[in-house]
Amino acid sequence: MIAAITSVRTISQKYLLLSLLLIVPLFLTGPQIITGSIVNFLLLSISNKTNKNSWLLISAIPSLMATVFTPYLFYLWPIITIANYSFITIAKKNIILAITVKSIILFLCASILFKLNLIPSIILISMGTIQIITASIGSIGFLTYERITKAK
């Protein structure tokens, strides 16, 4: 009976987190520092509750949702997907390296697209230092949440 309750709770948590991952980029269109931090927290949380086979799809969700309001992200969504996938995969071993790799992938690729005149400078700026900040905040939030929930 306890195993069944735990299983239902785990499944409910997964679907709640996935729902938030779909909703946050669509409806929380405020400052990127808030939206990005929440998305990074959700990416780490969901990857912690799912197997590797679903991580690529999970990595694609936020950028696909964001293209609704920011069409320029259409050019970046495959790159953001790869960066998110790298982030959650590497984070299992080294969170600082994961943040660094994600940020480098995004900024280098955005720089190329900017030089090709495919994205404006504001998108390039949003793929720079702010990515380090949002990935760091999301990671700290995730690690704090994990520590609190494991202490219970």
How many CB atoms are located within 10 Å of the residue 97 CB? 13
Asked if residue 99 lies in contact with residue 135, where contact means CB atoms within 8 angstroms, the answer is yes
Task: Output the pLDDT for position 8.
Answer: 58
pLDDT of residue 40: 95
Residue-level pLDDT, tens digit, the chain, 152 residues? 555 455 656 667 776 777 777 777 777 777 889 989 999 999 999 998 888 988 888 898 888 887 777 788 888 999 999 999 999 999 999 999 999 999 999 999 999 999 999 999 999 999 989 999 999 999 999 999 999 888 76
**What pLDDT shows up at residue 2?**
53
Contact 58, 88 (CB under 8 A): yes
Residues near 74 by Cβ (< 8 Å), separated by ≥ 6?
Answer: 67
- Indicate if the alpha-carbon torsion angle 77, 34, 128, 97 is positive or negative: negative
Q: So where are the chain's domains? A: 2-151
CATH 1.10.1760 fits 2-151, yes or no: yes
